[in-house]
Structure 1
Amino acid sequence: MIGNGLDADGCIAREGSPARVPAGFVPVVDAARARITAAFGPDRLHSAYLYGSIPRGTAVPGVSDLDLLLALHHPPTPDDRAAADALEAALDSTLPQVDGVGVLLSDTATLLSDAERHDMGWFLACLCTPLLGPDLAERLPRYRPTSLLARETNGDLALALPGWRARLAAADSEAELRALSRAVSRRLVRTGFTLVMPRWNGWTSDLAASAEAFAAYYPGHAERMRLAAAVARTPTTDRGVLADLIDGLGPWLAAEYTAVHGEKAPRP
């Protein structure tokens, strides 16, 4: 890998690796592998992947979460989702190293489809680390930090804003506010970064670095983006901060994104 997360050919380098998993999280990965195998047999599971701070080697014990993507042979069913929910609960309750477990479900046809080529396909090929089964990345192209990639990954921010407002209005516990602040802030920082990604000409998942890359091109909105990066690392229960991110930064960012890269192609 060379600077800015690209390889020698200027393509986005896969950011995670089993070799980068911190020693304290090796038991976490082993437990995930065993429980996934038990919950989803070979007739249902094609492959499983890690993503996030654990395979990047930046996980912090007791703070970081465990993120998993399961690629099934067939579109996920309600029973599959129930099994994934049970898997999340079992891993979260038995692994003190992690603070939360998230399991994404998809199927091989979707992940390899033309519609998802520059969204979930890119996500798997560049941000996910193989855990079980054949690696679908071998059937996907290499990716460059283009405007097309920016559009298809985060060109639908405007669709998220009404739901965030509704969740903020309905939240009646600190746990709900923290979960919302984490989701909102992460999405805003990643959208801010991919807005400038083609000009910056690289890739990073580091939230602080993402905010600074954005700030170099949009200094007038830099402080709000730095606030979002800080909240992503330390979720807040402050409704005023959340409202500022959702209704202050959010609408401007969505409009600027559409102006620069266009809207994400509609999904079924």
Structure 2
Amino acid sequence: MEHRGLDTDGCFEREGSLGQVPGAFAGVVAAARGRIRDAYGRRLHSAYLYGSVPRGTALPGRSDLDLLLALHHEPAGEDRDAAEVLARGLDEDFPEVDGVGILLYGKDTLLSEAERFDLGWFLACLCTPLLGADLAEHLPRYRPDSLLARETNGDLADVLPRWRRRMREASTPDEYRRLCRLFSHHLVRTGFTLVMPRWGGWTSDLTESAEVFGGYYPQRADQMRAAAAAALHPVADPAVLRAYVEDLGPWLADEYTARHGTKTPRVAAAGRT
């Protein structure tokens, strides 16, 4: 049987590790560790890497650096300002990375019952410890079931109006490319988690995610393959974004709700976008 990111008990194996960080990114990861510690001091509970860098698939000059910071308290204005300065500084000082993203949460939110199958799962399964005590030790083990699918990506219908607004506000090629990467990545991940319980496994590879999805929805397979390609090589084409919010996105939101239900509402948190 295929491995599919699960252990012998059918639970998610944590993906990524510091040992998998490509050599070209060792400097920026080391700098991130030091600068996070300096910026937050005792306010910081722990810090994590996620994405292509700890998975070992990052490409110099093309991949971004993704960080999650857990604070002892809920983030305040000064914490968000520090994250913005930190992200900008790392991006400017290290040409190996094409952008730096920082998610910021209080540890109580990450460990809350409301986030058990969303942020909790994300931290425990997709994040690599960088600093501090690992919060994953306080979280359960996870399986690729419908509950997880619902609580991770069962809110696409709520997201689409925000995407339409951001599209209307965009006007430059760089803005369109950023939205293309964001929308494409989100749609491919949502398409994959739609079929994840049936497939019975996990992958963070966008190309593989699109192929898995296409096996269950062949009529939408080409669209999802194109979205996976656009997530890796975003284009400054408003027509691509319109197709997402007018066709693929609404269809996917309806199909997701029909199969898994709607994500449980929660209070907006500082790290959400």
Q: Please state which band the TM-score falls in when normalised by the shorter chain.
A: over 0.9
Structure-1 residue corresponding to 2:271: none
- Counterparts of 1:133 and 1:166 in 2: how far apart (Å)? 38
Structure-2 residue corresponding to 1:108: 107
Amino acid at match of 1:225: M
- Counterparts of 1:245 and 1:92 in 2: how far apart (Å)? 29
Deviation beyond 3 Å, 4+ runs, structure 1: none
Structure-1 residue corresponding to 2:270: none
Amino acid at match of 2:12: I
What SS does the corresponding residue of 2:177 show, helix, strand or coil?
helix
What SS does the corresponding residue of 2:41 show, helix, strand or coil?
coil
- Counterparts of 1:248 and 1:223 in 2: how far apart (Å)? 13
Answer yes or no: is 1:141 the counterpart of 2:140: yes
What SS does the corresponding residue of 2:49 show, helix, strand or coil?
strand
Structure 1: runs of 5 or more not aligned: none
Residues 52-91 of structure 1: pairs in structure 2 closer than 5 A: 52-91=51-90
Q: Deviations over 1:169-222 (max 9, x none)?
A: 221101110111111000000000000000000000000000000000000111
What SS does the corresponding residue of 2:133 show, helix, strand or coil?
coil
Does structure 2 conserve the Cα–Cα contact (< 8 Å) formed by 1:224 and 1:245?
no
Amino acid at match of 2:157: A
Residues 116-135 of structure 1: pairs in structure 2 closer than 5 A: 116-135=115-134
Structure 2: runs of 5 or more not aligned: 268-273
Structure-2 residue corresponding to 1:240: 239
What SS does the corresponding residue of 1:40 show, helix, strand or coil?
helix
What SS does the corresponding residue of 1:71 show, helix, strand or coil?
strand
Amino acid at match of 1:18: L
Structure-2 residue corresponding to 1:250: 249
Structure-1 residue corresponding to 2:216: 217
What SS does the corresponding residue of 1:266 show, helix, strand or coil?
coil
- Counterparts of 2:124 and 2:141 in 1: how far apart (Å)? 8
Amino acid at match of 1:65: D
Structure-2 residue corresponding to 1:170: 169
User: How far did residue 239 of structure 1 move?
Assistant: 1.0
Give the TM-score taking structure 1 as reference length: 0.98
Q: Deviations over 1:59-96 (max 9, x none)?
A: 00000000000000000001100000000001000011
Amino acid at match of 1:88: A
Give the TM-score taking structure 2 as reference length: 0.96
User: How far did residue 36 of structure 1 move?
Assistant: 0.3
User: How far did residue 9 of structure 1 move?
Assistant: 1.3
